[in-house]
Amino acid sequence: MKNELVVKSNQVIEASYRLSVVEQRVVLSAIAKIPKMCEVSDDEIYTVSVQDLQALGVHEKTAYRDLKEAVNRLYERSISLDIDDKLIKMRWVQRIEFTENQSIVALRFSKDILPFISNVKANFTQYMLSEVAKMQGAYSVRIYELLTQYKSVGERSIAIDDLRIMLDLGSRYKTTGNLIAWVIDPSIKEINEQSDLKVTATPQKTGRKFTHIKFTIKQKQKPKTLDPKRDPNTPDFFVEMTDAQRLLFAHKLSELPEVGSEYAEIGESAEDFTKRLADMLLEPKKFRMFYPLLEQLGFGSKKIQSAPIKQVDEPKFLDFPNMQINRISYGMSRDKKFNHLKQESESPDDFMQRLRIMLKDPKQQIQFYDYLKSQK
């Protein structure tokens, strides 16, 4: 579960639906297993095991019973999305399977919901599954998603009527006092105790009536992880990377789930995120922050003040013959690994042609350096 990333369209984050906490855990476990940045069909089946639910806080003795009951209920559940000024109601799943002897269930997401939880390239929210793993309240998970969507902004004001619709409260908790006491306050308490956010909620009035809840959102400071091989008395080191190295390692960093969930901005393209990471690596403070991950990705250095830097291979322009460029670009255009580069409505042939141009451009070719080396 450590590196499982949940990615949802903002339309799903703000949709109207109600799931129990166990049903949410099943859905989130399955979503986290969907390959990122590539096309998937509604024929794909995603399994959720007892071990998955135990990692999300379900008791060992009741895990399989809870799993079966949750999946059976989930089969009947729907979600209402606002799409192009139309309210569209759709099912979460279209098929469920039980493997009793292995304590596993398998589900297929409905064709309608799949575009909003897979290969989402814009207007999406992502977070690590571990951030909601220990939450016991179904509303806590929903409110966490609504707030993590705005964590880079630092605050969010939600109309109380809209919040009721999103949480599908119906006639429950009619007064603002009950809503705060039974839904918002317990959720905020769990979010503050269990997640990466520190949140406060303040009811706001329009005239004499409470109409909105203003949430302030802060990200908790994570303890800094220092390189154990480094001299603890010289923590302020900085290695100046070449432009080629910065682009190469920024691309590698952008593919790490923990980096994407923490630093990617709402609606930001993969290319823009990579460029922004490359700029961050120019700053000593941010370089030190990323250094443990950079080292894992192959960028190494010895003690900076007492020994020369151990440099990685400098990415170089790889000059392929046209025939080989054609072959490589064709393979890349059909490889799901590169689907995040494909533009909307772009045909495979147009995508291949654009890849050919990128492979001939020294500046753009750098991001594919590792892949191209394997093609030599």
Rounded distance, CA 366 to CA 249, Å? 10
Q: Map out the domains of the chain as residue ranges.
A: 1-126, 134-221, 322-375
SS3 of residue 112 by DSSP = coil
Among left, alpha and beta (phi > 0; psi -120 to 50; other), residue 157 is beta
Q: Is the pLDDT of residue 171 over 80?
A: yes
CATH number of 134-221: 1.10.10.10
Confidence band, pLDDT 50/70/90 cuts, at residue 147: very high
Grade residue 223 by pLDDT with cuts at 50, 70 and 90.
Answer: low
Q: What is the pLDDT of residues 249-302, one digit of tens each?
A: 888 888 887 787 778 877 677 777 888 888 888 888 788 888 888 888 877 644
Q: What is the DSSP string of 297-365?
A: TT-----TTTS---PPPPP------HHHHHHHHHHHHH-GGGGGGPPTT--HHHHHHHHHHHHH-HHHH
Residues 191-215: pLDDT tens digits?
A: 999 999 999 999 999 999 999 999 9
How far apart CA 95 and CA 117 sit, in angstroms, is 17
Q: Reply yes or no on whether the pLDDT at 363 is more than 90.
A: no
Structure tokens at 64: 């399989």
Q: Check residue 315 and give its pLDDT.
A: 54
Q: What is the DSSP letter of 180?
A: I
Residues 6 or more apart whose CB falls under 8 angstroms from that of 243 comprise none
Does the pLDDT value for residue 330 go beyond 50? Answer: yes
Span 58-90, pLDDT tens digits: 777 778 888 889 999 999 999 999 888 889 999
pLDDT at 80: 94
| Token representation of residue 62 | 């009741």
Q: Please check the confidence at residue 177 and state whether its pLDDT lies above 80.
A: yes
E strands present in 100-208: 104-109, 124-128, 155-159, 197-206
Same fold, 1-126 and 134-221: yes
Asked if 114 and 120 count as a contact pair (C-beta separation under 8 A), the reply is no
What band does 3 get if pLDDT is binned at 50, 70 and 90? Answer: low
Q: Who wins on pLDDT, 278 or 155?
A: 155
Kindly report the CATH number that applies to the domain delimited by 1-126: 1.10.10.10
Higher pLDDT residue, 113 or 284? 113
Mean pLDDT within 115-119: 86
Does residue 110 have a pLDDT over 90?
A: yes
